[in-house]
Structure formats: C-alpha cells, structure tokens
C-alpha cells in the first residue's frame, strides 16, 4: 500500500482528480470504478474543470459505480444515479449507456447482481477504482463482516452508515434506505489499481485502524492490504492518528493553489 499525504482537503481531492484524468487521457478505453459521497464531490469538481480545460475524448470510456440504494429511491433525486448525474456525468461528454450503477430498483436481485459482475468483466475489468471510506470501515457498502471474497449483492446498511448518509434524507437516519446493492470486497480486490481518498478529522480514527490495525472483515477497507496496487490519499486531518513509522513511509505532496 502507498500513502500520499496532502496538506489540505482541496489538494488531496485535486490529486485524486488528476489520477482519474490521467487514466482517461492515457487510455481511450479506460474503465473507471466510481464512488459517491461527500468526499467525492470536490474530486468531481476538479475533474470536470480539468476535462473542460484540456478535453479528453471519453467516447470509449466506461464507468461502474460501487453502489446504489435498494427500492424505489433508486429512481429519485436521492439516488446515487442522480448524484452521479449531478456531480459528473452531465458535465462530461460520456455516453449514458457507458455509465453503470447497480440497479437498486430491480425485482430480481440475484440476476441483476450477477449481470453487474458480468458487465464489469465484459468491459475488461476496472482500470482505476475510486474509493471513499465510511465510519464503519466500509468500502462501497461492504459493512462489517463482509467476506473478502464477496461479490455484488444486496446488503443491510449499518446504523452508523445510515446516520452518516442522513443529510440527503432530511437529516433523518430512519429515512435512509435500510438496504443497498454494492459490489463486493472481492470485486474491488480484482481492480487493477485502487485509490482510497479520506479527508477531514472525522476519518482519522478509521484510517489509523485500517492502515495499522488488524486485517479483518470487521473493517472491510483493511482488505486493501491484499490489493496489488492501492494508494491511500489523505489530507493531514485524516492522517493525524497515523504513527511516525507510517508517516515515514508516506509521500508528502505540496499545497495546490
């Protein structure tokens, strides 16, 4: 695992946006794994600006998102499809048919999840997987006890995750859907390259646990120690609980103005 520590949130987000931009610029058929959440909003802002300043042909680019809420909400403005449309897709010259999210409103979950895995494989696998991290240590919506071999499936969201995501639901955790579809930890471990972005002091404890603690299905992100090419990009706030030993191994990048 590689560690990159940025002096502030904006620099960390711009760094990750650069990784996504470079992946698309170097490979016209790039397959991106994308994430939602508050942390990624600024990343997509930077990426959209980069794409406008120096356009890249995205006609051959394909995206697969990590997760989507289950039920009718998957067709509403609170869905992750709507989030992606708002923050990224509508600003880019990318074919809607090339953008994929797990179909949270499906009647046949088993078949839909199997089709999602098949579609990722048919696209040639994911070149660069973007990840955030939840307070439970989840990546995607792989909550505690997710098998490291898990694949795309329906999961129950942890209470802490429903609290974390309540803002889009009138700050009422009980209104956050109880279930979601998520790609599995096993699916994530098969990506060619992964970058996990964490910013802010609220992520410091879980980042220290995942980076230096036990590798355990109780913290899904700890599975990333088994990923062959994974980078954690942190701002100083999210990195503040890391030990000196860990910080010695990190690359420190300068502020972006």
Q: Where on the chain is the footprint of ligand F6R (CB under 6 A)?
A: 35-39, 66-67, 132-134, 138-140
Nearer to ligand F6R, 104 or 134 (CB): 134
Nearer to ligand F6R, 139 or 189 (CB): 139
The least distance separating ligand F6R from the CB of residue 226, rounded to whole angstroms, comes to 18
Nearer to ligand F6R, 56 or 188 (CB): 188
Nearer to ligand F6R, 93 or 175 (CB): 175
The least distance separating ligand F6R from the CB of residue 255, rounded to whole angstroms, comes to 21
Which residues, including other chains, have CB under 8 Å from residue 13's CB and lie 6 or more apart?
A: 39, 42, 43, 45, 46, 197, 199
**Taking CB positions, which residue lies at the least distance from ligand F6R?**
132
Q: In the block, which residue shows the tokens 């860990």?
A: 246
Separation between Cα atoms, residue 92 and residue 237, nearest integer Å: 31
The least distance separating ligand F6R from the CB of residue 21, rounded to whole angstroms, comes to 20
The three-state secondary structure class of 44 is helix
Q: In the block, which residue shows the tokens 């600006």?
A: 49
The least distance separating ligand F6R from the CB of residue 103, rounded to whole angstroms, comes to 15
Nearer to ligand F6R, 61 or 181 (CB): 181
SS3 content of the chain, % helix, strand, coil (to 5): 40, 15, 40
Which residues, including other chains, have CB under 8 Å from residue 237's CB and lie 6 or more apart?
A: 9, 199, 200, 201, 203, 204
Separation between Cα atoms, residue 146 and residue 254, nearest integer Å: 36
Separation between Cα atoms, residue 104 and residue 68, nearest integer Å: 6
Nearer to ligand F6R, 56 or 185 (CB): 185
The least distance separating ligand F6R from the CB of residue 134, rounded to whole angstroms, comes to 4
The least distance separating ligand F6R from the CB of residue 54, rounded to whole angstroms, comes to 27
């Amino acid at each position: 695992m590689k560690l990159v520590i940025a002096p502030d949130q904006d620099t960390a987000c711009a760094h990750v946006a650069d990784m996504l931009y470079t992946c698309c610029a170097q490979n016209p058929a790039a397959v991106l794994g994308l994430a939602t959440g508050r942390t990624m909003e600024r990343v997509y802002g930077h990426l959209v600006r980069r794409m406008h300043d120096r356009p890249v042909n995205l006609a051959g680019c394909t995206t697969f998102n990590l997760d989507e809420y289950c039920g009718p909400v998957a067709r509403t403005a609170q869905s992750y499809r709507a989030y992606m449309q708002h923050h990224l897709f509508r600003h880019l010259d990318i074919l809607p048919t090339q953008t994929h999210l797990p179909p949270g409103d499906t009647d046949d979950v088993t078949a839909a999840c199997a089709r999602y895995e098949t579609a990722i494989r048919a696209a040639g696998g994911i070149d660069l997987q973007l990840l955030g991290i939840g307070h439970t240590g989840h990546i995607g919506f792989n909550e505690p006890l997710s098998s490291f071999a898990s694949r795309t499936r329906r999961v129950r969201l942890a209470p802490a995750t429903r609290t974390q995501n309540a803002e889009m639901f009138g700050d009422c955790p009980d209104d956050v859907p109880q279930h979601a579809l998520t790609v599995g930890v096993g699916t994530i471990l098969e990506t060619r390259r992964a970058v996990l972005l964490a910013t802010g002091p609220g992520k410091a404890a879980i980042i220290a646990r995942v980076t230096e603690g036990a590798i355990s299905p109780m913290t899904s992100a700890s599975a990333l120690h088994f990923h062959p090419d994974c980078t954690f990009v942190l701002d100083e706030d999210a990195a503040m609980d890391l030990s000196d030993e860990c910080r010695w191994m990190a690359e420190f990048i300068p502020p972006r103005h």
